[in-house]
Structure 1
Amino acid sequence: MFTDYHVHTEFSDDSSYLMEEVIKDAINMKMDEICFTDHVDYGIKRDWNDAQGMLYRKGGPGEPEKMPLANVNYPKYFEKIEFLRNKYPEIIIKQGMEFGMQVHTIDQYQQLFNKYPFDFIILSCHQVEDKEFWTQDFQRGRTQKEYNERYYQEILDIIKVYKDYSVLGHLDLIIRYDNQGVYPFEKLKPIIKKILEIVIKDGKGIEVNTSSHRYGLKDSQPSKDILKLYKELGGKIITIGSDSHKKEHLGTYIEETKALLKELGFESYCTFDKMKPIYHEL
């Protein structure tokens, strides 16, 4: 089975990849299933229908000079997915979102989840204290030890409370933006272990995010150390996604990731339907 479970479209504020074009490209790639996971980042962004929602930020590397700060237009999003499901029955289309959560935004995400029908939710941590990683605002003024531990503490505090998600997205995301290099896994292992134990106890999972290749990381994301620990603890729910924002990202390194998971001893990966995992043999 060929599927991509982390895909962004024009409904994400950092992508202009039209949802219908994604579907056409996926069909041409002979993909069996795809899940849209467009961004919602409460705290730093307003909702699509907020009268003051059209705020902008300076574009980062590879982005337009000016980027809107707004979340998914929810009614149009679900309407478009339903339209595409009817138009392209040859591919399975699932409706998900990527919740870029922080502790102080949990209630907003709970309200959103309760309002709409989801197949799949990626719980990611893109900011802490409304400070971005990619700009170094979060890291600034902290030692490497401090910002790494603070990042994982935020995730731990979130999942102790919030349970309506499917997988944790790119769990060691902070590595992507760590100018000091990779902080030793052994120093973070105790808190990562606590996170994974809660994930497993709650019947949730983690994703392998193949964008590690295009970001030039020397390891998978999450790292092989985290994947091994997850397996040792009894974790079985794993999804694979490209984190695509444009055509050249879609479906990349999916098969290579399956091979990696098999090499690490995993027997299956998952797709989701109505928030329930479906297992597929590697």
Structure 2
Amino acid sequence: MLTDYHVHCEFSDDSVYPMEDVVRDAIGLGLEEICFTDHVDYGIKVDWDSGEEIRWRNGEPFANVDYPRYFAKIADLQEKYGDRIRIRRGLELGVQSHTIDAYNRLTEKYPLDFAILSIHQVHDQEFWNGEFQEGRTQGEYNEEYYREMLRVVQSFKHYSVLGHMDLIVRYDKAGVYPFEKVKDLITEILKVVIADGKGIELNTSSVRYGLSDTQPSRDILRLYRELGGRIITLGSDSHRPDHLGAHIASSMELLKELGYEAFCTFENGRPVFHPL
């Protein structure tokens, strides 16, 4: 069974991939189930209906998902293509410790099949442009990244999996920070995740970004399993057609090599296990 549980479309500020095209392409690729997980990043972005001024970046609106249109479109496509593919309602939540209340309100208003919890910013500072890293040593920004993740998972519970758990690696110009130096922090995070009945994601975009390891790393994947973690999803983090479904099958083989026996999809917020 092939699924893609990290899919972006035109409702994300960083994609122009039409939602219906995603569905058609997924069917063509033989995917049996997909979940749309478009971006919400409170702290640096506003909602369309917030009344606040929407910023623009590279000619595109820099805002969160237009929720009513987004969920209505998903419902339309579920009706239109439901005999050929399962389509799930999801979001990718870029949570920070000071924005948790906003995400609690959001997830209460819009029930989801699936929610990815990602740490995209810390203190409203971005990683991709080096803003968060500036003025900090490699050790300081890596450790603060994981400390913020720990603060978030200790307080926010309305999610399904941690997305690309070691995302900071993607933007670390100093190279890969040694796992052993953050292992204790990562262990604390994973223990909370497991105790709460949540999971992690294997994000296959590490291949297209040219990373030297999987995301999260094999060290994290092994640690999660050793600690008793079993809930794991696979997602391409697609933003355009050539990303969709990429490296999902090979990642399933990798999970088997690492000792995993199953991967998950989600329905109404609950994991469904499928043998690898």
Q: TM-score higher than 0.5 here?
A: yes
Separation (CA, whole Å) in 1 of partners of 2:148 and 2:68 = 30
Separation (CA, whole Å) in 1 of partners of 2:249 and 2:53 = 39
State the TM-score, normalized to the length of structure 1: 0.96
Q: Which runs of 4+ in 1 moved over 6 A?
A: none
What percent identity do the matched residue pairs reach?
A: 61
Q: Secondary structure at the match of 1:97?
A: strand
Question: Which letter does structure 1 place at the counterpart of 2:29?
Answer: M
Separation (CA, whole Å) in 1 of partners of 2:28 and 2:173 = 38
The residue aligned with 1:136 is 130
The structure-2 alpha-carbon separation of the partners of 1:33 and 1:53, relative to structure 1 and needing over 3 Å to count, comes to: farther
Separation (CA, whole Å) in 2 of partners of 1:195 and 1:220 = 19
Counterpart selection for 2:177 from 176, 183, 197: 183
Q: CA shift at 1:117, angstroms? A: 1.8
Contact 1:45–1:53 at 8 Å: present in 2 too?
no
Map 1:144-159 to 2 at 5 A.
144-159=138-153
The residue aligned with 2:68 is 75
Question: Which letter does structure 1 place at the counterpart of 2:275?
Answer: E
Q: CA shift at 1:51, angstroms? A: 3.0
The residue aligned with 1:203 is 197
The yes-or-no answer on 1:281 pairing with 2:275 is: yes
The residue aligned with 2:109 is 115
Question: Which letter does structure 1 place at the counterpart of 2:46?
Answer: R
Question: Which letter does structure 1 place at the counterpart of 2:177?
Answer: Y
Separation (CA, whole Å) in 2 of partners of 1:56 and 1:214 = 27
Q: How well do the aligned residues superpose, as a CA RMSD in angstroms?
A: 0.7
Q: CA shift at 1:225, angstroms? A: 0.2
Q: Secondary structure at the match of 2:265?
A: strand
> Which runs of 5 or more residues in structure 2 are unaligned?
none
Question: Which letter does structure 1 place at the counterpart of 2:33?
Answer: E
Separation (CA, whole Å) in 1 of partners of 2:45 and 2:54 = 9
Q: CA shift at 1:30, angstroms? A: 1.4
Q: CA shift at 1:274, angstroms? A: 0.5
> Which runs of 5 or more residues in structure 1 are unaligned?
58-64
The residue aligned with 2:6 is 6
Q: CA shift at 1:56, angstroms? A: 1.6
Contact 1:53–1:70 at 8 Å: present in 2 too?
no
Contact 1:170–1:207 at 8 Å: present in 2 too?
yes
Question: Which letter does structure 2 place at the counterpart of 1:92?
Answer: R
The residue aligned with 1:100 is 94
Map 1:1-282 to 2 at 5 A.
1-57=1-57, 65-89=58-82, 90-282=84-276
Q: CA shift at 1:116, angstroms? A: 1.0
Report the number of matched residues: 275
Question: Which letter does structure 1 place at the counterpart of 2:77?
Answer: L
Q: Deviations for 1:17-44, whole angstroms, at most 9, x for unmatched residues?
A: 0000000001111110000000000000
Q: Deviations for 1:55-113, whole angstroms, at most 9, x for unmatched residues?
A: 123xxxxxxx3342100000111100000011112110000000000001000000000
Separation (CA, whole Å) in 2 of partners of 1:218 and 1:82 = 39
Q: Deviations for 1:204-223, whole angstroms, at most 9, x for unmatched residues?
A: 00000000000000100000
Separation (CA, whole Å) in 1 of partners of 2:98 and 2:77 = 35
Q: Secondary structure at the match of 1:196?
A: helix
